[in-house]
């Protein structure tokens, strides 16, 4: 079988040649274990944390020569466990490989059985278990809850074209808010508006600050932050007193370590937190959202209130390039998944 290993620890932004494809024997499951075949692989920003030589945050760690860490939707093809039959579907963090041996008793985060009936419609393809009816969906659901998004309010969402952003924007619209996205480039902004955002501002444009000011004339009640960095520093002056700021992630710094190079921006950030009485709250979306978020999301998708938006890459061989693009060129819209095997 094929697998993709970590060839070099990325320095800053990951590059396609940090990864290498190799052929290895298909593993053999022992007592209590199952052999799964990967159907879909999820390329999430959190994988970046696992690739550093010295891991600063996150539970997972990938050593050189090991298969890269990541969530999958997989089918059981051999079972030595009473609760799992051949043909069953599971979500499992089994990594960038075609087959994996899994011990269900050892699984914690990111492991669940998938009911195929819940993914039978075109609105909810099986890959949506890694997106809108999965961890990014739970995260978007939690962000809107933590932000207490209400009808008539103005919500700004950074990384609006990403997995979390495309879902959070749809949920905030369902709640009757005016939703403004921030994304990189005119094409991405048009895609964000096509999802249902009221407006989208291009943070790569030279007049980003003027575009942003024009898009939020009544100031901002909730800022759902996926990126941190320059974008966030430019949103802060537009926040109302007591604005809520759910901190989902800070992708603009990933790979820079905990103390990024450059000037210390904490004074500017803390000035706004204090003087505007901001409510800033970080959270782990999967745990905060839990089963309630998955149930809500599945229902909203079934009712046609929200929809799954994905970029699909074909073939495990292309996972490294697609993952590197996430931090560079990035023309991906919605949840990025790799089709590894036929369903
Ligand atoms: N707290 C949690 O439990 C949790 C769960 C899931 C995700 N997260 C975090 O939430 C964020 C979004 O995740 P996701 O799954 O939606 O990611 P995604 O689908 O990979 O999208 C990431 C987006 O980030 C934008 N981006 C990349 N570098 C940037 C930069 N330097 N400045 C501004 N934007 C940049 C890219 O958009 P452009 O092309 O528009 O730049 C891209 O669309 C990440 O920070 C992730 O780590 C947190």
For the chain, the average pLDDT equals 95
Residue bearing tokens 């970029």: 311
Tokens 């073939």 sit on residue: 315
Strand stretches in 13-172, DSSP E: 19-23, 34-42, 72-79, 89-92, 99-102, 112-114, 154-157
Q: Is 276 exposed, middle or buried (0-12, 13-18, 19+ CB in 10 A)?
A: middle
**Residue 160 CB less than 6 A away from ligand 1:** no
Q: Which residues contact 197 (CB under 8 A, 6 or more apart)?
A: 157, 160, 169, 173, 179, 180, 181
CB 246 within 8 A of CB 225: yes
Compute φ and ψ for 49, nearest 5 degrees: -65, -30
312, 128 contact by CB (below 8 A): no
Q: Does 70 have pLDDT greater than 70?
A: yes
Identical fold between 2-131+308-339 and 138-286:
no
State if residue 326 touches ligand 1 by the CB under 6 angstroms criterion.
yes
pLDDT > 90: percent of the chain: 86
- Boundaries of every domain in the chain: 2-131+308-339, 138-286
- How far is it, in rounded angstroms, from Cα 131 to Cα 171? 14
The alpha carbon of 78 and the centre of ligand 1 are apart by a number of angstroms equal to 36
**Closest among 141, 162, 128 to 288, alpha carbons compared:** 141
Sheet-wide strand order for 239-247: 199-202, 178-183, 154-157, 220-224, 239-247, 279-282
Q: Is the pLDDT of residue 135 over 90?
A: yes
Ligand 1 lined by 169 (C-beta under 6 Å)? no
Q: What is the pLDDT of residues 273-313, one digit of tens each?
A: 999 999 999 999 999 999 999 999 999 999 999 999 999 99
pLDDT number for residue 58: 74
The whole-number pLDDT of residue 118 equals 86
Distance from the first to the final alpha carbon of the chain = 17
Please tell me if the CB atom of residue 284 comes closer than 6 angstroms to any atom of ligand 1: yes
Compute the average pLDDT of residues 188-196. 97
Q: Given a cut of 70, is residue 23 above it in pLDDT?
A: yes
Mutate to test the pocket of ligand 1, among 46, 145, 164 (most ligand atoms within 8 A of CB): 164
CA 166 / ligand 1 centre spacing (Å): 11
- Calculate how far, in angstroms, residue 164's C-alpha sits from the geometric centre of ligand 1: 7
Of ligand 1's listed atoms, the one at least distance from the Cα of 184 is 40
Looking at residue 225, its pLDDT comes to 98
Q: Band of the pLDDT at 195, cuts 50, 70, 90?
A: very high
* The pLDDT of residue 259 is above 70: no
Q: How far is the CA of 56 from the centre of ligand 1 (A)?
A: 18
CATH number corresponding to 2-131+308-339: 3.90.180.10
Predicted confidence (pLDDT) per residue in 115-134, tens digit: 998 888 778 899 999 999 99
Looking at residue 90, its pLDDT comes to 98
Distance 209 CA to ligand 1 centre (A): 20
Instruction: Name the superfamily (CATH) of residues 138-286.
Output: NAD(P)-binding Rossmann-like Domain (3.40.50.720)
Chain segment 137-169, per-residue pLDDT in tens: 999 999 999 999 999 999 999 999 999 999 999
Decide whether any atom of ligand 1 lies within 6 Å of the 231 Cβ. yes
Distance in Å, CA 213 to ligand 1 centroid: 23
* Ligand 1 site, residue 131, Cβ cutoff 6 A: no
What is the atom index within ligand 1 of the atom nearest the CA of 188?
40
């Amino acid at each position: 079988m094929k697998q993709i290993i970590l060839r070099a620890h990325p320095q800053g932004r990951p590059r396609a040649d940090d990864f290498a494809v190799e052929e290895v024997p298909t593993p053999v499951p022992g007592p209590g274990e199952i052999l799964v075949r990967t159907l879909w692989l999820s390329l999430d920003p959190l994988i970046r944390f696992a690739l550093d030589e010295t891991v600063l945050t996150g539970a997972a760690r990938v050593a050189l020569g090991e298969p890269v860490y990541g969530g999958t939707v997989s089918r059981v093809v051999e079972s030595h466990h009473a609760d799992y039959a051949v043909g069953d579907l599971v979500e499992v963090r089994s990594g960038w490989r075609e087959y994996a041996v899994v011990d269900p008793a050892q699984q914690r985060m990111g492991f669940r059985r998938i009911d195929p009936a819940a993914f039978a419609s075109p609105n909810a393809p099986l890959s949506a278990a890694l997106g809108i009816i999965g961890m990014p969906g739970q995260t978007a659901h939690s962000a809107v809850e933590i932000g207490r998004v209400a009808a008539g309010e103005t919500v700004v969402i950074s990384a609006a074209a990403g997995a979390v952003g495309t879902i959070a924007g749809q949920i905030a619209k369902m709640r009757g808010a005016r939703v403004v996205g921030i994304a990189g480039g005119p094409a991405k902004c048009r895609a964000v508006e096509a999802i249902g955002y009221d407006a989208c501002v291009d943070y790569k444009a030279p007049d980003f600050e003027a575009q942003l000011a024009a898009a939020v004339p009544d100031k901002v009640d909730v800022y759902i932050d996926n990126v941190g960095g320059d974008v966030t520093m430019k949103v802060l002056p537009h926040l109302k007193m007591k604005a809520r700021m759910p901190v989902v992630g800070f992708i603009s710094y990933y790979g820079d370590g905990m103390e990024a190079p450059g000037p210390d921006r904490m004074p500017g950030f803390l000035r706004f937190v204090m003087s505007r009485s901001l409510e800033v709250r970080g959270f782990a979306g999967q745990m905060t959202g839990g089963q309630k978020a998955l149930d809500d999301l599945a229902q909203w998708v079934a009712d046609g209130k929200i929809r799954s938006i994905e970029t699909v890459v074909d073939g495990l061989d292309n996972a490294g390039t697609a993952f590197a693009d996430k931090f560079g060129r990035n023309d991906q819209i919605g949840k990025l998944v790799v089709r590894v095997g036929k369903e």
